[in-house]
Amino acid sequence: MAEFTFELNDDQQQVRDWLHGFAADVIRPAASEWDEREETPWPVIQEAAKVGIYSLDFYAQQYFDPTGLGIPMAMEELFWGDAGIALSIVGTGLAAVGVLANGTEEQIGTWIPQMYGDPDDVKLAAFCSSEPDAGSDVASMRTRAVYDEAKDEWVLDGTKTWATNGGIANVHVVVAVVDPELGSKGHASFIVPPDTPGLTQGQKFRKHGIRASHTAEVVLEDVRVPGACLLGGKEKLDERLARARERARSAGERSGKQGPGGAKNAAMATFEASRPAVGAMAVGTARAAYEVALDYAGTRSQFGRPIIDNQGIAFQLADMRTRIDAARLLVWRASWMATTGKPFTSAEGSMSKLFASETAKSVTAQAVQILGGNGFTREYPVERMHRDAAIYTIFEGTSEIQRLVIARTLSGVPIR
């Protein structure tokens, strides 16, 4: 029996230290500038590519770490540096996960390398799922994909929103409706290759936080992609749709509700795989804010002594650190379970994302409070960290959706 341990092995420690050094030396010094500019930090991404962090090889090494801790460890360190810049560096990964979760080996080998490019020609990718009227309610998705059998092409029409790297990406992964009668089970994912006519960037959003990360609408008008761009292939899609139709007929329902053993929705398969990683991002931001607050409390004096000498401050810091460590353990558990093939029988992936994201909001708010008036200014990074932390309870499944998933899983009841 393998030894149970919470310790990272030597290789993992070296990678963690390397990432921490990059975050401290490259990401943090640039964080305030790119937050103010609200632009994609291309020089930082290019530097990450140059040293090997922004690359398919690095991503694959962490993704296939047999312990499952490679990705969450990397996310925590990069987001400790800065959430906006880190999301610009890792945002391509969500599209890559979409291909890994739904694509064939040939599609994985063809498209994921094109998402990253190389240090001399950096590329980006975007995962496009949410729509103006379909965020948490994926069953309301309207973007359609119609198969043109004569040309062996899929024709995509619709508007996506909240897409990281949307419109500026080299490769877009788009979730679309192929059978509207099946609700969320009637969705499929498609690769939109570079320079495909009909795909344009819509509104670019000016955001409360993670402002160094590009977020925009993606408009698809008569976008034609080859049949080979359907992730998983048409034969697999036809089989999945046939099973879904048979289940719908036998149950007499058309709600698209996911039951035990049912086929996975294309977007949900991606989000299930990425939720612990988002939890790790939140842990990184929370840890960064906690460290600033701890250092400030030890050096800031009031009434003749450091403010950490007061229980009101010391107890807050104790709670902050406890929540951070608990969140990390939930993330590591979910990541280990996913890698070792253990099913999320109690929605452990959603648990990790829920607790870590709520922890980031709480801890960054406490850090602002500990710094007092200084914490409310942009002279100190906790103000930015607090703004950045707000996104974790929203994207890739809101906290409310995570609670719904957990409650349904535990109870077996279709709670609404």
Catalytic pick among 76, 217, 396, 400: 396
User: Which phi and psi (to 5°) does residue 153 adopt?
Assistant: -135, 150
Classify 409 as helix, strand or coil. Answer: helix
Please give the Cα distance from 106 to 13 (Å, whole number): 33
Please give the Cα distance from 132 to 159 (Å, whole number): 8
What's the Rg (C-alpha) of the chain? 22
- What is the number of alpha carbons within 13 Å of residue 340 lying toward its C-beta? 11
The type of residue at 361 is: K
Catalogue the E-assigned strands of 46-152: 117-118, 121-122, 125-128, 144-148
- According to DSSP, the β-strands at 199-204 and 121-122 are unpaired
Instruction: List the end-to-end C-alpha distance of the chain, in Å, as a whole number.
Output: 43
Please give the Cα distance from 265 to 375 (Å, whole number): 42
Active site residue 38: no
Q: For residue 299, what are the CA distances in angstroms to 292, 313, 380?
A: 11, 13, 14
Which of 135, 143, 241 is closest to 186 using CA atoms?
241
As annotated, the active-site residues are: 396
